[in-house]
Amino acid sequence: MIAELAVLVVDDEELNREMSRRWLLNAIPCTVDCASTVRYAKELLKKKRYGMVILDMSLPDADDGYEVLQEIRDTSSLNETFVVAFTGYVQSEIDRERFVTYGFDDAWPKMASEAEFKERARQAVARLQRRATKSP
């Protein structure tokens, strides 16, 4: 059972960071840190172990979110981190599956309602709990 999940929200838009932080805190037992740049996100990832990273796919100091995803996946201590592509390009299950194929655990639309965002967060925690029970 996951007691309290550490979540990192990486988005260059302050409104998106604050809205995500507030909705996460109201949906799941978690702490939330926010980063507006890839550079700052990388600093935070070195200092703290996050169970989930919600990652904007178009950040000004990166070509795309795949750069950060690859770094997370290449770092053994972060390999099990649940990484969400946070994007305006998820309109269907096919779009979501495309991000999963690239190595993300899920993809959430930025235009989601509060209820949908919170439900996706709860589903992510459930998936993390299932993962934890399967680990030796």
Classify residue 106: in a domain, yes or no: yes
| 82-87 and 106-109 strand pairing | parallel
CB 55 within 8 A of CB 65: yes
Classify residue 52: in a domain, yes or no: yes
pLDDT reported for residue 76: 64
Q: How far apart are CA 106 and CA 132, in angstroms?
A: 17
Amino acid at 90: V
Q: Say which CATH number the domain at 113 has.
A: 3.40.50.2300
Cα of 61 vs its chain's centroid, Å: 18
Classify residue 83: in a domain, yes or no: yes
Q: Compute φ and ψ for 29, nearest 5 degrees.
A: -75, 110
10-27 average pLDDT score: 96
The count of structural domains within the chain is: 1
In terms of residue numbers, what domain contains 44?
A: 5-129
Classify residue 135: in a domain, yes or no: no
CB 35 within 8 A of CB 72: no
Which percentage of the chain shows pLDDT scores above 70? 93
Classify residue 136: in a domain, yes or no: no
pLDDT reported for residue 116: 93
pLDDT reported for residue 106: 93
